[in-house]
Amino acid sequence: MSKILFISPSVQLAARAREIIAERSLEVEVQVASLKESKEIAARAVENGIKVLISRGGNASILQKCFAVPVIKVKLTSGCYIEAFEKIRSIEGPVAFFSVEEIQDNVKTLCYLMDVESNFYRFDNEMAAEDVVKKAVRDGNVLGIGGVVTEKYAGLYDLDYVTLENSREDIEMALDSAQQVLASLQREEIRRKSLQLQLQRYEVIFNYTHDGIIAIDKKGKVEVVNKQAEKILPLKNKPYEGQYIENILPSTKMHTVLRSGEMETDELMKVGNAIINTNRIPIIIDGQIEGVVATFRDIESIRISEQKIRSNLHKKGLASKYRFTDMIGESKAIQRAIRIAKGYAKNNSNILLLGEIGVGKEMFAHSIHRESRRRNMPFVVVNCANVSPVVLLADLQGYEEGSSPFGAKGHKEGMFELAHGGTLFLDKIEDAPLGVQALLLRVLEDNEVRRIGGDHVIPIDVRVIVSANKTLTKKIEEGTFLEELFYAISVLTLEIPPLRERGDDYLLLCSDWFRRSFGADFRKYEGKIKDIEEYIKGYTWKGNIRQLSNFVERVSVLLKNDMSVEEVVSTLPGLAHPADEKENVMLGKWTRAAVLEALSESKLNISRAARLLNCSRSTLYKKMDEFNIKITNGTT
Ligand SMILES: Nc1ncnc2c1ncn2[C@@H]1O[C@H](COP(=O)(O)OP(=O)(O)OP(=O)(O)O)[C@@H](O)[C@H]1O
């Protein structure tokens, strides 16, 4: 549909315009209309989507006054007067020029040079047109020159008349201008729409983010407040926009950032019962502070919703059970392993955990998952030892209806599918049969899995952590473990030290397990337990963690059966030579996230947070300073 309408006051002009439009294959509609009709026609056209109007003389002036759309005028250039001046030369007496706008100066100059007595009459509507013609006749003019409106009245009052017609160039110029105006309007429209889209997008983000947001201008007046900010903060004096920030949030610190221009991030504060994390960011344009935007996050509620997700996963048995803080051990060896594991947790590559039986490989896998970005997604454990290849394949791949290798009914999701988005822990990978190894290699390479009997592949996003003992290398040499699979799973490798290399950690483990084993009765047996602990202090534990846990269990049973300490110690098999040296160096325990979590859990109570982190208040203050964690008393 055409977007340009040419409203012509004369039939002749319309015919010429149509000719040019057809020649140049333009999309322009042409209509002939008198001064009276043109307004109505234009109104309808604009309603139907016309974006640009073209017209001439009085019509054009009226349309310009009445409509917001651009109106392009077909101008009467000096060339239009050639015919008129030919005629003037052949007559005697004054000549009347009729026009809506001022007659061009060069026409007046020509009259002067040709010694023509000329009178100029202007009008701006139909009635005025008749009046000016009557006046011209009364004034004794012998010839009238003008457009089609006055032509009609010249005939009526018997005035000889020359109708001015536009040249081809005049029409072409108007058509070109109209095309250019339309093109720029359309460009503007596209820009406007994309701006609107962007604005709407920001509005949605602004109102549906979990963060509260407040923006103030350079005078400290509130520009916007989102819904979350209202929920999180005790704001006063609605409506907020246009008010000084202090009026709606008296203890705000946004104006200090407005003065300093320095951003303040991750400040913690207590608002009512909630712990809020705040960022205050100055908006700086060309070196000038133009305002401040502050974001607020209720960490308590985030923690609660994360807990909800985790508890759902727990219900399904797909959540990790341990985190690094559950790990007992202060030896250099275990702390080094924990530090490396925490580094691996941030990465997304597959991990190989190497270590003897019961050194805590599975506990490390759980903790790595818990520390990783995938923490709220499933953690799935698959034991590769002592399981038949058929069962293991069916467990990993899943099967479609009617394809169960055991004739079971229905379909089953495979472990890879269950672990989607999270972590799959393959325990004792060295025992995986070759067929299973081949499947694992395929899945790890392609990131997709196909159920047994399935006809389509399922894309998966899973991080794989595997555990193995030292026999893995031997199996690769023997050819019973695929070398390619080893490379795929061992991008990051962590060797977990055996308990005998962890100094006095066995004592810490014992003491923790005794507490758990005796529970509420601990106080009753505390004396005897202390004696046992004193006794084993002089020895080095030669067994692994599992043996130590069995030892604690046995001692607990014996003590509960009223055996004396002497009797109990006589049955201690795992103890050997006295420890040569004590290793008790704390390393790598501190992360910003751990400090924030402890502060959040303790509701910003420094003493409680320090207890949670197992350190003194002054150490905690030092660490908060190091990690740039500030606690303020205000609300923002
Ligand atoms: N540092 C630790 N602190 C507290 N408990 C631990 C620690 N390391 C291991 N344990 C406990 O010891 C037991 C054995 O740990 P885990 O199952 O993680 O070892 P593993 O190396 O995976 O054993 P396996 O070789 O038999 O698969 C678990 O009950 C675990 O909770």
Condensed to tens digits (0 to 9), the pLDDT of residues 390-403 reads 999 999 999 998 88
Q: For residue 102, what pLDDT is reported?
A: 84
The answer to whether residue 308 scores a pLDDT higher than 80 is no
Of 185, 220, 241, the last residue of a domain is 185
- pLDDT computed for residue 25 by the predictor: 93
Instruction: Note if the bond before 239 is cis, omega within 30 degrees.
Output: yes
Cα four-point dihedral sign 132, 135, 137, 143:
negative
Q: Is 287 found in the same domain as 368? A: no
Is 593 contained in some domain? no
pLDDT average, residue stretch 365-377: 93
Ligand 1: centre distance to CA 367 (Å): 12
Higher pLDDT, residue 590 or 21: 21
Domain finish residue from 250, 279, 301: 301
Q: Is 236 exposed, middle or buried (CB count within 10 Å of its CB: 0-12, 13-18, 19+)?
A: exposed
- The residue with greater pLDDT, 500 or 327, is 327
pLDDT at 47: 94
SS (H, E, C) 152-176: HHHHHCCCCEEECCCCHHHHHHHHH
Rounded to whole angstroms, the Cα distance separating 226 from 204 reads 10
Domain-located, residue 349: yes
Look at residue 61 and tell me whether its pLDDT is greater than 80.
yes
Residue 487: burial class (beta carbons within 10 Å; 0-12, 13-18, 19+): exposed
In this prediction, residue 261 carries a pLDDT of 92
541/635: higher pLDDT: 541
Is the Cβ–Cβ distance between 382 and 424 less than 8 Å?
yes
- Say if 528 falls within a structural domain: yes
Q: What is the pLDDT of residues 624-635, one digit of tens each?
A: 888 888 887 644
- Residue found by looking up tokens 């602990």 in the block: 533
**For residue 542, is pLDDT > 80?**
no
Distance 359 CA to ligand 1 centre (A): 5
584, part of any domain: no
| Long-range CB contacts (within 8 A, 24+) of 475-480 | 475/430, 480/434
Write a three-state SS string for 226-272: CHHHHHHCCCCCCCCCCCEHHHHCCCCCHHHHHHHCCCEEEEEEEEC
Length of the chain: 636
| Same structural domain, 243 and 384 | no
Res. 636 pLDDT band, cuts 50 70 90: very low
Query: Cα angle vertex 484, ends 479, 485, to 5°?
Result: 90
Residue 583 has pLDDT above 50, yes or no: no
Are both 115 and 54 inside the same structural domain? no
Q: Which of 569, 593, 625 is the last residue of a domain?
A: 569
DSSP strands (E only) in 9-94:
28-32, 52-56, 71-74
The pLDDT assigned to 572 comes to 61
Task: Express each pLDDT in 114-132 by its tens digit.
Answer: 889 999 999 888 889 999 9
Q: Does 10 fall in a domain?
A: yes
In a shared domain, residues 491 and 509: no
Average pLDDT over residues 345-366: 93
Identity (one letter) of the amino acid at 361? K
Q: Is the CB of 361 under 6 A from ligand 1?
A: yes
What is the per-residue pLDDT across 130-189, written as a single tens digit (0 to 9) for each?
A: 999 999 999 999 999 998 889 989 999 999 999 988 888 899 999 999 999 999 999 999
- Say yes or no: 489 and 341 in one domain: yes
The residue nearest atom 14 of ligand 1, judged by CA position, is 358
Distance 553 CA to ligand 1 centre (A): 15
Q: Answer yes or no: is 547 within a domain.
A: yes
Residue 255 has pLDDT above 80, yes or no: yes
b/e for 91-126, b at 16 or more Cβ within 10 A? eeeebbbbbbeebeeebeebbeeeebebbbbebeee
* pLDDT the model gives residue 291: 93
Q: Which of 89-98, 359-368, 387-396, 625-634 has the lowest mean pLDDT?
A: 625-634
Q: What is the mean pLDDT of the chain?
A: 86
Atom of ligand 1 nearest to the CA of 353: 21
- 426 lies in the same domain as 553: no
**Is the domain of 454 the same as that of 368?**
yes
Distance of CA 135 to the CA centre of its chain: 74
Residues 64 and 85 in one domain: no
Are 226 and 181 found together in one domain?
no
CATH code of the domain covering residue 363: 3.40.50.300
Average pLDDT of span 446-472: 90
pLDDT at position 106 is 83
Q: Output the CA 357–ligand 1 centroid distance in Å.
A: 9
Same domain, 147 and 274: no
pLDDT value at position 213?
93
Residue 587 has pLDDT above 50, yes or no: no
CATH number of domain containing 240: 3.30.450.20
The confidence score (pLDDT) of residue 315 equals 67
Report how far residue 43's alpha carbon sits from residue 36's, in angstroms, rounded to the nearest whole number. Answer: 13
Contact 31, 56 (CB under 8 A): no
Confidence of residue 57 (pLDDT cuts 50, 70, 90): confident
Q: Is the pTM of this model over 0.80?
A: no
Tell me the CA–centroid distance for residue 427 and ligand 1, in Å.
12
Q: What are phi and psi of 425, to 5 degrees?
A: -105, 115
Domain coverage including residue 12 = 4-75+169-185
* Residues facing residue 56 across a β-bridge: 74
Question: Of residues 62 and 269, which shows the higher confidence score?
Answer: 62
Rounded CA-CA distance 170/221 in Å is 55
Distance from Cα 557 to the centre of ligand 1, integer Å? 21
Query: Average pLDDT for residues 466-484, to the nearest whole number?
Result: 92
To test the pocket of ligand 1, the residue of 326, 352, 363, 515 to mutate (highest count of ligand atoms within 8 Å of its CB) is: 363
For the Cβ of 545 lying below 6 angstroms from any atom of ligand 1, the answer is yes
Which of 382, 545, 546 gets mutated to test ligand 1 (max ligand atoms within 8 A of its CB)?
Answer: 545
Verify whether ligand 1 is closer than 6 Å to residue 329 (CB atom). yes
Q: Is the CB of 328 under 6 A from ligand 1?
A: yes
Same domain, 416 and 445: yes
330 CB less than 6 Å from ligand 1? no
Q: pLDDT digit string (tens) for 208-236? A: 888 899 999 999 999 999 988 988 888 88
Give the distance from CA 160 to its chain's centroid.
76
Asked whether residue 252 falls in the same domain as residue 359, the answer is no
Task: Answer yes or no: is 530 within a domain.
Answer: yes
CA angle 351, 357, 359 (to 5 degrees): 65
The rounded percent of the chain whose pLDDT value lies above 70 is 93
State the pLDDT at residue 135. Answer: 96
Q: Is the CB of 321 under 6 A from ligand 1?
A: no
More confident residue, 299 or 170: 170
- Whole-number pLDDT of residue 608: 84
Ramachandran assignment for 256, one of left (phi > 0), alpha (psi -120 to 50 degrees), beta (any other): alpha
Asked whether residue 52 is assigned to any structural domain, the reply reads yes
Q: How confident is the model at residue 581 (pLDDT cuts 50, 70, 90)?
A: very low
Least confident of 286-290, 305-309, 588-592, 605-609: 588-592
Which ligand 1 atom is nearest residue 469's CA? 25
Q: How far apart are CA 135 and CA 157, in angstroms?
A: 10
The total number of structural domains that make up the chain: 5
Domain harbouring 115, CATH code: 3.40.50.10660
The CA R_g of the chain, rounded to the nearest whole Å, is 45
Please say whether the beta carbons of 496 and 364 come within 8 A: yes
Residue whose Cα lies nearest atom 23 of ligand 1: it is 358
Q: What is the mean pLDDT of residues 67-89?
A: 87
